[in-house]
Every structure is written in structure tokens, then in C-alpha cells.
Chain A
Amino acid sequence: MIAQIFQVLRKELLIEWRDRSRVAGVFFFGLAVLLMVAFATPQSTVLPKIAGGTLWLGLMLASTRSMDQSYAVEHEHGAMEGLLLWPVDPVAIYYGKAIANTLILAAVAIVLMPLLIAVYGVEVKGDPLLLVGVLAFGCAALAAPGTLYGLISSQARGSSVLLPLLIFPLVVPAILAASNATTKILEGDPMQQAPAWLGVIVIFDAVHWTVMGMVYGRILED
């Protein structure tokens, strides 16, 4: 199983590496959100306070594009049929794709971070390692439901509007926790609340990565 997951992951990353359009698209989408929110904010003094939330808002919006693309690639030239004919477990396909989506999102998040610090005038007052943890687990939280719902919306015709509608309510806890943790780390965290928020993200990840893996096969069968 581990080997199968690794194979799928390798395939995903290889496709991504040869093209790099998805990472670029997701990155510029996220950057656009950061800039737009900054333009929409009347006072620049407010910016540091909303920096964490805006980062996650951008990542969440960008992730829906990313998840769409993850399957759009498969539908070209009937690659999906090829994937299904592989002697691999659907569960492996899910985890392979979800890990790939997490890595892509996390890469974007890590590149966006310095830009956020520059544009929003914030500095990392808390533990940078903790920030990396929040980014990694937060991206995993976005990727888990996204990878499943991306499959659904890619198969339902004309329903790309549907993907955000399905994902957004589901990732509310993760976005809430990640935004709070990020803001706390950036702004300084005298009460030491950030680790607890990270805990919420980890719990979210644990539940969703398990449940999604269990139901993914049912969706893929159709």
C-alpha cells in the first residue's frame, strides 16, 4: 500500500514538475487575494491584524482551483481510465493525490509567507517552527476534502461552482484554527494559544484524512 501511494504521489509530482502551471496558477491566485484584500482595506494599520486570516483565505480560494486542476489533467486523453486500470487500490490513489495536493499548497504557502510579511508589514514574533507546522497541517486540512470533492466536481458537468460550495463549509474549522494560529504567531502569542489551535488542525486532519480515505473508493467506482 505504501509503495502504491508512493507511485501515485510520484506520478502526480512528475506531471506537476513537467508543467508547473498548476503551482504557478495557485500561487498567483493566492497572491491576487492577498493584494486585493490589502486594496480593500482602508487603513494600513489594520493589515497586520488580518494578515493571518487573509493568507488562509487566499490559500483556501486558491486550493479550489488546484483541486479542479488535479483532475482536469486526468480527464485529458482519457488518463482517468488508465489510472483506474492500474492495479492500485483506490485508497492509494486518494492518499497519493492528497499528499501531492498538500505539497503543492504548502509550497505555495511557503512562498506566499515572505510576501505576506512584506506587503502586510508583519514580522514573525512567535516560533517560526510552529508556523511551519501550522502551514503544513493547514494545507493538509485543505487538501483532504478538496481531493475528494475535486473528483466529484470534475465528473459532474458544469458544476465547478459547486466545488467551493461543498468545500468551504467543511473546512471552516481548519481555516478558523489556522488563521488564529498564524495570527498569534505573527502578532506575538503571550497566552501561548497557537499550539492549541495547531491541535485543532491536527484533529481535523486526523478525522478527515481517515474518513476521506474510507469513502473515496465509493466515489471513484462510479
Chain B
Amino acid sequence: MQTGRQWGGVVGYDALPRRWVIEGSTITAIAGLIGFVYLIAMVVPAVRRALPFRWETPLGVYGLLLLLSGNYLGLFVAPGERMMGEVGRILHVHVPAAWVAMLSFFVAGIAAFAFLMVGKRGLDSLVEAAAEVGVMEATLLCLLGAIFAKPTWGVWWDWDPRLTSTAVMLLSFVGVLLLRGVVRDPDRRATWSAVATLLSTVNLPITYMSVKWWRSLHQDMSETTGGSTIDDSLRWVMYYNTWAFVFLTVWFLATRWRLAEVRAEREVPDALPEVA
């Protein structure tokens, strides 16, 4: 790893030589593009049906490959972070985990709203899938955050706005999953969990706003539309990992959705019992 060389990074990170920067961001762009082109192709039902395997499987394999190579990049290729040193490398997975957890909960919220509007059974299955995947990812996010926090802040947990609202979000979706667990009647379960999901989603901005008034320890948003405070030499690795997380999330969602659909199918009694 090279140190002591500055290439005009935004705020004091150890930078790699320029050629890495260009190559890195290009690699990330290509990695994302491949997955995206595949995803767009899958929008067409005919293409999906023509495949001899489940459409999401290649995406999952691809996501896993990206995750493995992304971890290698984050651990060995990207430079250490200047202030936090080697510990800072966890941001390559911590930040993507936060984004995909948000994405999953957002999908759950949209699906719940759509279910209440349209009332299609498939949307209920999607709510179930997205809520569960989101809970899994948010748990991962909290664990990664705690590992990150101990050496950098000196504590495992802090009552900072973002941590607190993440915990509240996680808890409210755990509530949704528990609600789904206790209700036997499929129709009731669908409506109730859609309502609970929608309320959890609507409540989130208020939660964030109210806890933001506390004194904050978590750094401000690194990535905004206005620009980034992360040096280019680190950033592409983080985005590379983000693609891995995104494609894996799509895979999880699709697989879990499929499972929920099968279960829902089984729950519906046959219209007429078979005559023996």
C-alpha cells in the first residue's frame, strides 16, 4: 500500500496514483452496467420464460462474485483511510449495506401501498419478501456499524440520529414480520401487514427528524448530489461493493418473493375437492 503521496484528493485520504483512479471507476461502471443490462432484459416476460433457469439465479451468482472481488479490492487494493486507517475499510461494505436496507424497506413500503390500492395477492408476497430482506440487511448494517464504531468512536452504540432511526426502522419492520407470523387468515394478514408496513414507512421521516435534534456523532452524509467527501481512490471500491449488494438484494427479493408466492398458493384451498 502506498502512503504519503497526495494527488489532490478532496479531503486528506492517502491516494493511489492517478491511473488507479481512472481504471477503478471504469471497472465499477462496467460491473454495474453488466448487471443492469441483464436486469433490463429480464423486464421482458418472454425473455424470462425463455431462460432454462430462474431469471434471478445468474444475478445472484454475479452478485456473489462481485462481493468476493469487492472484498478483495476493499481489503487489499484500496488505500487505507487516512484518519481511521485500516478500520476505515469497513465502509466499503457498511455504506452499501445501509443503502440496500433502505432500498428493501422502500420496496416494502411501495408494495404495501400498491397492495392497499390494487389488492393483488402477489404484492402481498412482495411486502413479505422485502420486509424480511430489509430486516436481514438492517441487522447486518447495525452489526457492521457496531464493529466500525468501537474502534473509531470508542463505543459499540451511540444514540445518534441515524443509528437511532435505523434501530426504530428495524424494530418496526420486525413488528410487521411478527404480525404476519400470528395472523392465520391470508386476507387479514395481507391487509394488516400492508397497513403496518405503510405506517412504518410513513413514520420514518418524522422519526429521523425528531432524533436529528439530538447532538450527532455520526458524520454527515458523505454522498450527496452536491458532491462527495470521499476520495476517488476509495470511492470506486465502495460503489463496486454497492453493485454487489444491489444485485444480491435483487436476488434475495426475487427468491423470497417466489417462495412467498408458493406458500400463498398452498394456503388457498382448492375451489372444489377432488372426487375420489
Residues of A that sit less than 8 Å from B by CB: 145, 148-149, 152, 155-159, 162, 165-166, 168-170, 172-173, 176-177, 180, 200, 203-204, 207-208, 211-212, 215, 218-219, 221-222
- Contact indicator B168/A172 (Cβ below 8 Å): yes
* Secondary structure of the B contact surface, majority rule: helix
- Contact indicator B187/A173 (Cβ below 8 Å): no
Residues of B with C-beta under 8 A to A215: 116, 195, 198-199
Contact pick for A207, options B188, B196, B200, B202, CB 8 Å: B202
Scan residues 147-183 of chain B and give those whose CB is less than 8 A from a CB of chain A.
168-169, 171-172, 174-175, 178-179, 182-183
Q: How far, in Å, is A173 (CB) from chain B's closest CB?
A: 4
* Secondary structure of the A contact surface, majority rule: helix
Q: How far, in Å, is A98 (CB) from chain B's closest CB?
A: 14
Residues of A with C-beta under 8 A to B195: 148, 152, 215, 218-219
> B interface, how many residues as a size bin?
20 to 34
- Contact indicator A173/B207 (Cβ below 8 Å): yes
| Bound form: Cα–Cα A166–B198 in Å | 12
| Bound form: Cα–Cα A176–B45 in Å | 48
- Contact indicator A166/B202 (Cβ below 8 Å): no
Residues of A with C-beta under 8 A to B187: 222
Residues of B that sit less than 8 Å from A by CB: 116, 168-169, 171-172, 174-175, 178-179, 182-183, 185, 187-188, 191-192, 195-196, 198-200, 202-203, 206-207, 209-211, 213
| Bound form: Cα–Cα A165–B173 in Å | 10
- Contact indicator B191/A222 (Cβ below 8 Å): yes
- Contact indicator B188/A155 (Cβ below 8 Å): yes
Q: How far, in Å, is B213 (CB) from chain A's closest CB?
A: 8
If the complex has contacts A166-B175, A173-B209, A177-B210, are A218 and B191 also in contact, measured as CB distance less than 8 A? yes
- Max chain A Cβ within 10 angstroms of own Cβ: one of B179, B209, B210: B210
- Contact indicator A159/B192 (Cβ below 8 Å): no
| Bound form: Cα–Cα A211–B113 in Å | 12
- Contact indicator A170/B191 (Cβ below 8 Å): no
- Contact indicator A176/B183 (Cβ below 8 Å): no
Residues of A with C-beta under 8 A to B200: 169-170
| Bound form: Cα–Cα A145–B187 in Å | 21
| Bound form: Cα–Cα A92–B195 in Å | 19
Residues of A with C-beta under 8 A to B209: 173, 200, 203
| Bound form: Cα–Cα A6–B192 in Å | 27
Q: How far, in Å, is A75 (CB) from chain B's closest CB?
A: 16
| Bound form: Cα–Cα A165–B195 in Å | 15
